[in-house]
Homo-oligomer: A and B are copies of this chain.
Amino acid sequence: MRTRLGVVGTGVIGGSFALAARNAGIVEQVLGFDAEQGVCERALALGVVDRCVTSIEELVAGTDLVLVAVPVAVTADCVRECLDAGAKFVMEAGSVKGEVLEALGTLADNKFVSVHPIAGSDQSGPEAARADMFQERLVVVMDKGSEVLKREAGALWCACGATCTEMESGLHDRLLAVTSHLPHLLAFCYMNVVAQADTESLKPLVGPGFRDFTRIARADAVVWQNIFAANRAELTAQVERFQTELEKLRAAIDHPEVMRESLRAASDKLDVLR
């Protein structure tokens, strides 16, 4: 039984896993490390971690399970550092997989599992961490690595209230480009259009539709720049599809029948997915 958890990146995902795992009784102590030391100190003050350490070596030495929850661009390096320091079991919880797993190669196959909890918050930092973040959420476990470790990883997330499914990383990145990365890019893009209008005039006219549509544009800029870049091929393909569809819809503004058909098709698809 691994009872000492190390979290690299004490933000919303790392912090939530720390809270959830302790709540579930599967870890007794949580050590935190964050590239921004102030973030770990805030996590400590909030009771999200029990102690902050100042290096990955120190974190690995004091724990028997490490979760890496940092921006995608630095994930592979962080995982490698943990393994080099002697970690026996490392998980990473990023949103894009292909690039990270390619960078790691077969180095880590018997000590490492890559997962993606389909959960999160439009707020960032340990202040947004919640013990129930993964309740009734899906955690995708990448199909790479040892069967024993993948089962162990699945059991940990299940204990935190999630259900698990296994998936190939390329398929994961392709599907997430559609369900998550594209809508985030569109929400940010929409806000850049809104920014061109007079904010004071717009403010009273903002309704619940606007609030829901734009919520994801509050997400962390660094995290999402990382995600967009790491999944550039799949995301670009989806953006191009969107551009084609948008041009069609724009042309349909003057063609009632075409527009109605298109809007109906969109709503119908939504009924299936929500």
Contact = CB atoms under 8 A, between A and B. Distances in A.
Contacts of A216: 209, 212-213
Contacts of A195: 265-266, 269
A245 B193 contact: yes
Nearest to A188: B266
Contacts of A235: 253
Nearest to A212: B212
Interface stretch (A2-10, A43-51, A174-182): A174-182
Given A232-B254, A253-B228, A254-B229, A209 B191 contact: no
B236 A250 contact: yes
A194 interface: yes
A118 B218 contact: no
Interface string A186-214: 11111111111101011111111111111
Given A178-B193, A266-B188, A270-B218, A205 B242 contact: no
A157 to B, nearest CB: 14
A171 B205 CA distance: 12
Interface in A249-274: 249-250, 253-254, 256, 259-260, 262-267, 269-274
Given A204-B138, A213-B212, A216-B209, A191 B243 contact: no
A267 B221 contact: yes
B259 A228 contact: yes
A73 to B, nearest CB: 8
A136 to B, nearest CB: 11
Contacts of A246: 185-186, 189, 239, 242-243, 246
A186 B186 contact: yes
B274 A214 contact: yes
Given A216-B212, A229-B259, A118 B191 contact: no
Interface of A: 118-120, 122, 137-138, 140, 165, 171, 175-176, 178-180, 182-197, 199, 201-219, 221-222, 224-225, 228-229, 232, 235-236, 238-239, 241-243, 245-247, 249-250, 253-254, 256, 259-260, 262-267, 269-274
Given A195-B265, A206-B274, 8 more contacts: A119-B207, A178-B193, A178-B194, A183-B214, A189-B245, A189-B246, A229-B253, A239-B246
